[in-house]
A and B are shown apart, each in its own frame.
Chain A
Amino acid sequence: MKFPNMKLLNDVILDYSNPDKIYKLAREYDRLQQGSAAFGFYLRAADMSPGKTIKDQWLQYKCMILSSFIYERNGNRGQSVEGLLKIAIDTLPDRPEAYYFLAKYKQDKDDWRECLMYAKIGLSCNTSLDNSWFTDNDVGYPGDDELRLIYARAKWKTNGRDDSKNLAFDLKYKRKVSPEVDRGATALLAEHGYPSTLAYVRNEFDRFKYAFTGLEDIEKNYSRHFQDMFVLSVLDGKRDGTFVELGCGHPELYNNTLLLEEEFGWRGISLDNSERMCHIFSRQRNTNIICADAATVDYKVMFKQNCLEQHIDFLRINAERASVEALSRIPFDKYEFSVIQFQHNAVWWGPEFREESRKILTKIGYVLLVSDVSTDEKSNYEDWWVHPMHAKRKIVMKSVGKHNFAWDYIMEKQK
């Protein structure tokens, strides 16, 4: 066994106070898996560096981090590993690397509160500091996305809620990440589920597949899985449209008509069987709210009393197990709808409601444009239909006979 690069050693011997040369020798020992010698030279390089410039501090910072790796390889020296990384933070507190390695260390120890803290601080660092000394990556920092992944894990472990799912989802679907991060994010989503809401926000404008008039003015939408955006796509951002929503839920949270009403001037009727929800709705929205059981309503009377025209732009039915009964009560002989969304919840309830609804709507000529819209890659829960006239216009893509994960259907893949 031979030391392969004697020049590195001789350079140090002849210039024993030169931190750059000592650092290179330490790197060589490290590469040769001679950890103790590498550590000794890392520490000397850090000590010999004046530490007055960013260049000096960058070298010291790397020495501390790389030394911590050696103690980790030694095994069972956690306090020293942590101590070295904390010295690194003290040296360059605005760099993310040491925070990342501390977060990772804490993750491996199941110490999720501290993991969360270090990951969060690391993510707040400004990695775009304009300084050429930060160009090397000797410490093997895998990038901010790996830190985000750790943060997502820590978020789940510390509060178990949507924050974690959103972080994992962003990594998998919104960012171009390494295969390792993609695998990690995929595993997180598989284990904990997808976010309950996949929202559109303005900075995703370029990825929205079915752009429509007025899209550029939308800051965000409200539906859980782009139901409102789909309606606007089919109707090219129609203004002053009309809607009927059976099972409207909260007036804002996950609501499918708020965007239409507020941004595009639509009006219509919303119905829900929860008195409490109707009370909240009536105080927040201009839309008429009717508190009733969707399975018992005479819709011909209701539509007439509310002066709806025979052509209505959007019908949405989400009345839980009353949905099919509600659908069967809609007076399709008197009223027509441009877009119909029917929530059948097949993933949870089985195919019975879905098949029944499809029979009804197919029989009267509506076209199933997007079948089995899904909350993730497999959880299908509703169908999106259009009037035959819109089906011919092919504004949006027809996708039938499979699960349609809402994100993939609406958004372009990350390039």
Chain B
Amino acid sequence: MHDLHIGGLAAWALKRGGSLHPVLLPQSVLGNETGIMNPSIFSYKGKILLNIRHINYILYHSEGKKFPHQWGPLVYIHPENDVTLTTHNVMCELDAGLNLKSAQRIDMALDTGKPTWNFIGLEDARLFEWDDKLYLCGVRRDCYDSKGTGRMELCHIEFVDGQWTEISRHPIPAPNGDGSFCEKNWMPVIDMPYHFVKWCNPTQVIKFDIEEGTTVDAFVEEGERKPFGRDFRGGSQVIRINDQQRMAFIHETNLLRDPFGRKDGEYSHRIVIWDNDWNLIHASHNFHFMGTYYDHVTNTDYGIEFVTGMTVHPDNGDILISFGWQDNASFILRMPQKTFLDFLMDNR
């Protein structure tokens, strides 16, 4: 496991037959070169699809604090005449070698109203298939009120007449009275349509009635939390790995403040496995994909990474994990199944 502390999972995988693949977008889509982040990969009808969050800002994150922005070590640099943080979703198709074949901004055709808050668009959307339909599910905060209340939204998308288009949109109320402020990062359970793991430790599974637009708890873990210290938040899609188990990548956050009280942070990840009864039966050590800036004085890591997708390569069965780096770049980590399993075994 020493490798993980030196270079993260990417280095660990690279030394064992894996590979890391940067996602590049053509200028026609990328425009003025702002961030492309939090990609969600999904194998769909033999194709490898990837949804990327394209934002109107660049995240300025001075991990080492040697060169912080005048407004802090972690700042969203958006246009000075536009305080919104705007998200567009870009649908990409990759070839078998994980190179970009095509990229197109999804026409969110149901965006008709004027945004009521300044986080605009469907954020951190996961890509998956339920009932033979392709969905994106992410958080939207621009339409519920002027305070930033956020709800998960399920969007059916299709490729129609040469254009990726939003066909229908389904806001998902929070469970138990819809009283929360902001829901985000729910993990769709691929083999259980309309079910999400809201978070784990404790695990909470939500069932969404798409016809009625209602939610109920399908499972809520009782008893003491596992001794991992922090909440486990989504995460990739939840995929079935055998008859008995499901698996997902989750993330943990360590939100920090600099000496002036300005925000900073560190994200790390784990792989978790549930049994069929949603008992959390395994959680790997927490790890980073690329690594962090490690402050030896305070024994603190700094770094922003975020995993939002995982799938199996349709040709060779390799595990493909998509993650964003510093909100500024997108990568796909390819791991041969044996390498991936070795990693899991090492992490028991």
Contact = CB atoms under 8 A, between A and B. Distances in A.
**Which of A6, A36, A76 gathers most chain B CB within 10 Å?**
A36
B27 interface: yes
A16 B67 contact: no
Interface stretch (B147-155, B165-173, B235-243, B323-331): B323-331
A369 B235 CA distance: 89
Interface stretch (B6-14, B108-116, B179-187, B207-215): B6-14
A32 interface: yes
Name the residue among B8, B15, B63 with the largest chain A CB count within 10 angstroms: B63
Given A3-B24, A13-B7, A47 B66 contact: yes
15 contacts: A1-B25, A2-B100, A15-B7, A33-B30, A35-B32, A35-B34, A36-B329, A37-B36, A37-B325, A39-B58, A40-B58, A40-B59, A43-B62, A46-B64, A46-B67
B21 to A, nearest CB: 7
Interface string B76-104: 01111110000000000000010110010
Contacts of A44: 63, 293, 326
Interface of A: 1-3, 6, 9-10, 13-17, 29, 32-37, 39-40, 43-44, 46-48, 51, 60, 63-64, 70-71, 73-80, 83, 87
Taking each of A13, A32, A44, which has the highest tally of chain B beta carbons within 10 Å of its own beta carbon?
A: A13
A48 B64 CA distance: 7
Interface in B22-71: 22, 24-27, 30, 32-36, 58-67, 69-70
B326 A40 contact: yes
Nearest to B291: A16
A60 B67 contact: yes
B7 A36 contact: no
A40 B63 CA distance: 10
A1 to B, nearest CB: 4
A361 to B, nearest CB: 68
Interface size class for chain B?
Answer: 35 or more
A73 B33 contact: yes
Contacts of A87: 67
A33 B32 CA distance: 9
A79 B100 contact: no
Contacts of A17: 291
A325 B155 CA distance: 95
* 5 tightest A-B CB contacts, nearest first: A35-B33, A47-B64, A37-B329, A40-B328, A16-B291
A13 B30 contact: no
Contacts of B20: 9-10, 13
A51 B291 CA distance: 21
Interface in B190-237: none
Given A13-B7, A16-B6, A33-B27, A40 B325 contact: yes
B66 A46 contact: yes
A153 B77 CA distance: 31
B290 interface: yes
A132 B325 CA distance: 34
Given A47-B67, A80-B69, A39 B8 contact: no
Nearest to B9: A13
A16 B36 CA distance: 21
Contact of A76 (B19, B59, B79, B97): B79
B118 to A, nearest CB: 16
Nearest to A76: B79
Contacts of B290: 13, 16
A63 to B, nearest CB: 8
Contacts of A80: 60, 69, 77
B7 A75 contact: no
Nearest to A47: B64
Nearest to A86: B70
Contacts of A48: 64, 293
Given A46-B66, A47-B66, A78-B80, A35 B6 contact: no
